[in-house]
Amino acid sequence: MTPKLYVAVFLLGVLWIVPGGVSPIEVTGVSGGSISIPCEYDVKYRGFKKYFCRGNPVGCEDLISTKDQDTEGRYSLFDDGEGQLLVRIKQLSAVDEGWYQCAVHIPYAWDKYTDVYITVTDGLSPSPAALEPVTPETAALYYEGPGTNSTTEQLMSPFNSTTPEEGKAKNATTPNREPVGHYTDKYHGVLLGIVGLIVVMIVAIILLGIVLCVKRAKSGDSDTSHIIPSSTPTAPVGP
């Protein structure tokens, strides 16, 4: 293997190990109400399995996924097939606060994750002065009262409607803060990426060592084969 080939193998290993993702989303909901979380994914993953889980990417606990179910208990998941994934959680409570992941499952590679942090309050919706247009990056909030029914029309409303109905959608600016536990969870993925890079480097070094040993052995055999044995004069045989 040439040095260029080693570099190519190393870069491929890096691309395979380093996780992909987009900007994190922060969402605030009211206890007893519901929230809808719009996540985006690359359209090239249209037919791939999507899921929503709790925690950081390492050891994330699956809550709901496409292909298996689109509704599971308090959770609903809808994939429009065009790069938009909508997660809806009903009957919020304080225990729902924390880190989650919108994810695309990619076989034989690192799944694509979008960090989501949910904050649950017991107050009313934010004042109109704090509102801004809905984007996945600034975290849209869709407040609905307890007991609101879930329908496909409600699930699709963040994508297809700008006029909220009764129990209307509210938007809020992402707070300028890092929630407790964010750094710990985020750097789990970074640490895993570093460990993966170290493994790739070790494998590359081992392969390089093997190739050098083989070349040295072949070179030694070649040098030995070119040595001409010296002729030893035969002593005369006496009468």
165 within a domain of the structure (yes/no): yes
Residue 214 lies in a domain: no
Instruction: Give the pLDDT of residue 151.
Output: 40
pLDDT of the residue at 59: 84
pLDDT digits (tens, 9 = 90+) for 71-97: 888 999 999 988 999 999 999 999 999
Does 90 map to a domain?
yes
Q: Is 203 a residue whose pLDDT tops 60?
A: yes
Domain count, the chain: 1
Is the pLDDT at 186 greater than 50? The verdict is no
Instruction: Read off the pTM.
Output: 0.51
Q: Is 212 left (phi over 0), alpha (psi -120 to 50) or beta?
A: alpha
Answer yes or no: is 153 within a domain: yes
Average pLDDT on 200-209 reads 90
Whether 123 is covered by a domain: the verdict is yes
Range of the domain at 107: 21-177
CATH code for the domain in which residue 54 is found: 2.60.40.10
Rounded to whole angstroms, the Cα distance separating 134 from 173 reads: 9
Measuring CA to CA, which residue among 51, 56, 48 is closest to residue 39?
Answer: 51
Residue 227 domain-assigned (yes or no): no
Q: Residue 36 forms beta bridges with which residues?
A: 88
Give the mean pLDDT of 219-234.
Answer: 62
No. of H helices and E strands in the chain?
3, 11
Instruction: Write down the pLDDT at residue 219.
Output: 78
The answer as to whether 16 is a domain residue is no
Q: Considering the domain boundaries, does residue 132 fall inside one?
A: yes
